[in-house]
């Protein structure tokens, strides 16, 4: 594959990824993809079997980036609370929403097991990394022994995804930021120092 061909494929994937994030599956038309990627119609069909194949590639790229980021933050060094706080407080575009979470609400993607898989897998990775961090915190005496790591993990994921929804509904990042601060306060209360 030549550099130009590879570049066109990459631009198609990236253009589709951005369109999916902003418009969803139905709003991501082939014409919009060609325009966003700056390529001709034939380029899309040269590299992909059609829109679903290209959407899957775009989803896989977004999922891979998010999974890498989750692993890097939550599996790093330092106290478990600090790592979880770093994940919750990382810079996000709260009004744009989560590039993966928004796909979970898209009926075209949610209704197709193949297109849903990168979304599902990303939330599994997030859950596993949060559970591991919480369990490490429990083992190190940072969190209370009776803390339900799986339940807390799901609650923290729900705070982020729900925070995006609240921010978009309000047209302000304030609900998102307050939800994150509330979650951190509850998590702090689960530490031995927070009692």
Does 5 fall in a domain? Answer: no
Does 184 fall in a domain? Answer: yes
Does 32 fall in a domain? Answer: no
CATH number at residue 74: 1.10.357.10
Does 47 fall in a domain? Answer: no
Query: What is the residue range of 144's domain?
Result: 55-189
Does 40 fall in a domain? Answer: no
Provide the number of structural domains found in the chain: 1
Does 7 fall in a domain? Answer: no
Does 66 fall in a domain? Answer: yes
Please list the pLDDT of the chain residue by residue as tens digits (195 residues).
Answer: 444 557 989 999 999 999 999 999 999 998 899 899 998 888 888 899 889 999 999 999 999 999 999 999 999 999 999 999 999 999 999 999 999 999 999 999 999 999 999 999 999 999 999 999 999 999 999 999 999 999 999 999 999 999 999 999 999 999 999 999 999 999 999 887 765
**29's tokens:** 């038309």
């Amino acid at each position: 594959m030549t550099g130009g061909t590879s570049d066109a494929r990459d631009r198609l994937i990236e253009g589709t990824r951005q369109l999916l994030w902003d418009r969803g599956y139905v709003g991501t038309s082939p014409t919009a993809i060609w325009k966003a990627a700056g390529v001709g119609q034939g380029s899309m069909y040269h590299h992909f079997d059609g829109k679903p194949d290209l959407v899957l590639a775009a989803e896989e790229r977004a999922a891979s980036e998010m999974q890498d980021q989750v692993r890097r933050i939550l599996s790093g060094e330092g106290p478990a609370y600090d790592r979880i706080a770093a994940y919750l407080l990382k810079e996000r575009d709260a009004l744009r929403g989560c590039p993966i979470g928004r796909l979970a609400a898209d009926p075209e993607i949610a209704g197709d097991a193949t297109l849903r898989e990168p979304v599902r897998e990303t939330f599994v990775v997030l859950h596993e990394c949060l559970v591991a961090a919480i369990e490490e915190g429990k083992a190190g005496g940072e969190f209370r022994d009776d803390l339900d790591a799986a339940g807390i993990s799901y609650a923290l994921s729900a705070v982020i995804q729900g925070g995006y929804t609240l921010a978009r509904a309000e047209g302000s990042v304030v609900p998102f930021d307050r939800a994150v601060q509330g979650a951190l306060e509850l998590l702090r209360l689960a530490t031995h120092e927070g009692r």
